[in-house]
A and B are shown apart, each in its own frame.
Chain A
Amino acid sequence: MSWIGKIGRVGRIVEPASDPPEERVAPPTGVCGSLQLRHVDAGSCNGCELEITGAFSSVYDAERFGARVVASPRHADGLIATGVVTRNMHQPLLNTLKAVPEPRVVIAVGDCACNGGVFAQGYGVVGSVADVIPVDVQVPGCPPTPQQIITALRTVTGR
């Protein structure tokens, strides 16, 4: 019961929303403010995952712009891919994209996903995400901050 008091005392902890970004990608179905994404870790160090988790947490709250992470690619509008594409994750990444219904987007988060990052010359690496599947939005950074990730999401949701 002390939680009720705590909730009242802490109040709102979410950061205020910044200005919406200028450049936009058209929302996949034309409906603004609704973007469900399936996260795929193609071979990352999990640094970007921590930042994505932060982006969807109470402090940055990406959900207020209509974005959500879902469990099944069939429920998703697209993929949010992190990490360089390793040999073992090459086919699974392609299978996951195939399972997403049209129209779909791909958002590559982190330097590894955009251009291979520090692992570009690794022996177990096929390439960056952009080399394997068509990418619509790239979020550079190692790792990118939650604010940068949210800005990238907002370019797609339109909110």
Chain B
Amino acid sequence: MSAATELPGLTATALQVVAVVAGAPFVVGGMRQVRARLEGRAGGGIGQPWRDLRKQLRKQQITPAGTTVVFGFAPAVVAGTTLLIAAILPLIALGSPLDSAADLFGVVGLLFLGTVALTLAGLDTGTAFGGMGSSREITIAALVEPTILLAVFALSVPGHSANLAAIVSATADHPGQLVSPGSLLAFVALAIVIIAETGRLPVDNPSTHLELTMIHEAMILEYAGPKLALVEWASGMRLTVLLGLVANLFLPWGVAGAHPSVLAVLIGLVAISAKVAVLAGVLATGEVFIAKLRYFRIPELLAGSFLLALLAVTASYFFATPT
């Protein structure tokens, strides 16, 4: 097969999903390593999350008393929605067959569907910590939604569409509008959204042991073995997928076209891996310098990000570069 052979969009999409599945633990491991090295430690290595996952998959599955199928299926739903998002987003190539089926609003909806599944699982355990985690998680999700949709609005103005392939190709064709005020403000707002949605500092500390400070962890305290592996994997995949989304929305170079050749697909894979690795490293470095916010300061942070997103939209209206 020569390097110029055209592959159908489905191949690139399948490769994307496999890359996300395989690469998510490495992204999490890489972030932990960056933090460890900056703190002067040696760290467990990039492969540590993979080792943990393999181990958890071999452990006993436990069904806590009083839980229902909601608890049982929530990990699969969270992982499933994340896999679907990975298939929709133009991470390696633009020609995903699902691109016209779901635009950025659909992706946001799927993200929230996963959050809701995990929240219901937390409530289903019937423990105090499960309910507490669910309550906090859903409050943050409710307050982050205006920012996220306004950021989608701001991003859809240049390309006149909310479909992802259109947005990414519009940015690739007119790189000048990346430094417009609207774009920069949208980037900052989206960064805060991703931190809130994936539960990183300063919103949530993913490695805390104090239940009263937990948000995401508190919902999954009852999960063991393979279901825990699926939940942790899904969290890692969500982080990877969202970092990939931000990377390709604001730095779309390297993304292959709608009918890519083998070489273009490989370049796309390398490009997205590099971009996600860099973004993950920057995020981890930032985490070393900040502490977790007190819970009732988070709405203030989210209100600030809402204002930024609102300014992003009005800026992209009034400073629209003529196309």
**Residues of A bordering B, CB below 8 Å:** 3, 7, 10-14, 17, 27-34, 36, 58, 61, 63-66, 68-72, 74-75, 77, 101-103
B323 in contact (CB, < 8 A): no
Which residues of the partner chain B approach A102 to less than 8 Å between Cβ atoms?
Answer: 59-60
Please name the residue on chain A nearest to B208 by beta carbon. A71
Interface of B is mostly: loop
B48 touches A74 (CB 8 A): no
**Chain B contacts with A in 32-64, Cβ cutoff 8 A:** 36-45, 48, 51-52, 54-55, 58-62
Which residues of the partner chain B approach A31 to less than 8 Å between Cβ atoms?
Answer: 51, 54-55, 58
Interface of A is mostly: loop
A66 touches B48 (CB 8 A): yes
B114-122, B220-228, B305-313 - the one binding chain A:
B220-228
Which residues of the partner chain A approach B225 to less than 8 Å between Cβ atoms?
Answer: 101
**Chain B contacts with A in 236-288, Cβ cutoff 8 A:** 288
A74-B62, A74-B228 known; A36 vs B52 contact (CB < 8 Å): yes
By size class, the interface of chain B is 20 to 34
**Residues of B bordering A, CB below 8 Å:** 36-45, 48, 51-52, 54-55, 58-62, 208-211, 214, 217, 221-225, 228, 288-289
A14 touches B54 (CB 8 A): no
In the assembled complex, the Cα of A75 lies from the Cα of B52 at a distance in Å of 10
In the assembled complex, the Cα of A10 lies from the Cα of B42 at a distance in Å of 14
In the assembled complex, the Cα of A157 lies from the Cα of B39 at a distance in Å of 23
Q: Could you say which of B41, B59, B209, B210 contacts A58, with CB atoms under 8 Å apart?
A: B41
In the assembled complex, the Cα of A21 lies from the Cα of B273 at a distance in Å of 38
In the assembled complex, the Cα of A63 lies from the Cα of B45 at a distance in Å of 9
In the A-B complex, the 7 residue pairs with the closest CB atoms: A101-B60, A13-B40, A74-B224, A31-B55, A29-B58, A34-B51, A64-B42
In the assembled complex, the Cα of A91 lies from the Cα of B225 at a distance in Å of 24
In the assembled complex, the Cα of A143 lies from the Cα of B61 at a distance in Å of 36
A34 touches B41 (CB 8 A): no
In the assembled complex, the Cα of A70 lies from the Cα of B261 at a distance in Å of 46
